[in-house]
Each structure stands twice: as C-alpha cells, then as structure tokens.
Amino acid sequence: MTTSTILLRLAETIESRKNADPSDSYVAKLLASGQDKILKKIAEEAAETIMASKDNNKSQIIYETADLWFHCLVMLTHHGLTPEDVLLELERREGVSGIEEKRSRSTH
Ligand SMILES: N=c1c2ncn([C@@H]3O[C@H](COP(=O)(O)OP(=O)(O)OP(=O)(O)O)[C@@H](O)[C@H]3O)c2ncn1[C@@H]1O[C@H](COP(=O)(O)O)[C@@H](O)[C@H]1O
C-alpha cells in the first residue's frame, strides 16, 4: 500500500467520525471539541516530535511524527480539506523547485 493511500484512507475514517458519538471515538470527541483543542494537540505533538529528534531516538521520532501527522489530518478535516490537497501542493512544488529549474536550465 502506498503512503498516500494510507493517508487518504485514514482521512476517510476521520471524516466518517464527524457524525459519530464522541463517547465512542477519540476523533469524534476531538472534532466536537473544536479548533482550539485540535491546534493544542498539534502543538503538543510537534513539541514531542522535536524532543524525540533532539534525543536522536528514531523509534520515538516515528511514533511522535505519526501522532503529529494524525492530528494534522484531523485539523484538515475540520477545515473540509484532505491530504490530497496537501499532496497536490507538494507535487506542484516538485515542478517549481530550484534544483529542478537549474537542472532544466543547464540542459537547454
Ligand atoms: N491514528 C490515530 C491516532 N493517533 C493517536 N491517537 C490518539 O491521540 C491521542 C494522543 O494524545 P495523548 O498521547 O496526548 O493522549 P491523551 O492524553 O489521551 O489525549 P488528550 O486527553 O490530551 O486529548 C491518544 O488518545 C491516541 O489514542 C489516535 N487516535 C486514532 N487514530 C486513528 O483514527 C482512527 C479512528 O479513531 P477513533 O475515532 O478513536 O475510532 C483509528 O482507527 C486510528 O486509525
């Protein structure tokens, strides 16, 4: 399974929790709590990711980055956005990166 497939499937699960009972689902509870709570979680997970990186702890970096990405997906869902919107932006940047521009200039 590709990385983007995993992100898109998780985003669909998160979207489906918009109408779920907050007592049954962490995502439903977080979405119902509103944007400030979602942003607080992103800040916490970003700080934990930074600490894992400073510790050079690779397994912890993976764990905390997963938490961070997950909470960013919840934030995107809150705004009606999807991981595809972000992946498309990254794909667009591939076409405008300085290295690519220099490469294409040097071959012409
Ligand atoms: N990927 C995740 C995921 N990553 C982290 N978390 C939750 O995020 C929280 C992390 O925050 P903390 O470690 O600070 O834990 P906490 O103290 O309980 O959180 P707070 O009370 O501070 O909000 C934990 O409760 C984790 O369970 C996740 N919860 C859900 N998912 C995915 O979302 C799907 C839907 O989840 P539910 O809505 O719970 O069914 C699941 O099937 C998973 O695929």
Pocket around ligand 1 at a 6 A CB cut-off: 10, 13, 17, 25-28, 41, 67, 70
Model confidence, pTM: 0.89
- Domain CATH code at residue 32: 1.10.287.1080
Q: Report how far residue 38's alpha carbon sits from residue 64's, in angstroms, rounded to the nearest whole number.
A: 16
Give a yes or no: residue 90 inside a domain.
yes
| 24-82: pLDDT as tens digits | 999 999 999 999 999 999 999 999 999 999 999 999 999 999 999 999 999 999 999 99
Give a yes or no: residue 100 inside a domain.
no
Q: Report how far residue 47's alpha carbon sits from residue 42's, in angstroms, rounded to the nearest whole number.
A: 9
User: What ipTM does this complex have?
Assistant: 0.89
Full residue range of the structural domain in which residue 84 is found:
3-94
Which among 82, 76, 66 is positioned nearest to 38, based on CA atoms? Answer: 76
Residue 26 Cα to ligand 1 midpoint, Å, equals: 6
Q: How many domains does the chain have?
A: 1
Rg (CA), the chain: 17
- Which residue has the least CA distance to atom 2 on ligand 1? 70
Give a yes or no: residue 106 inside a domain.
no
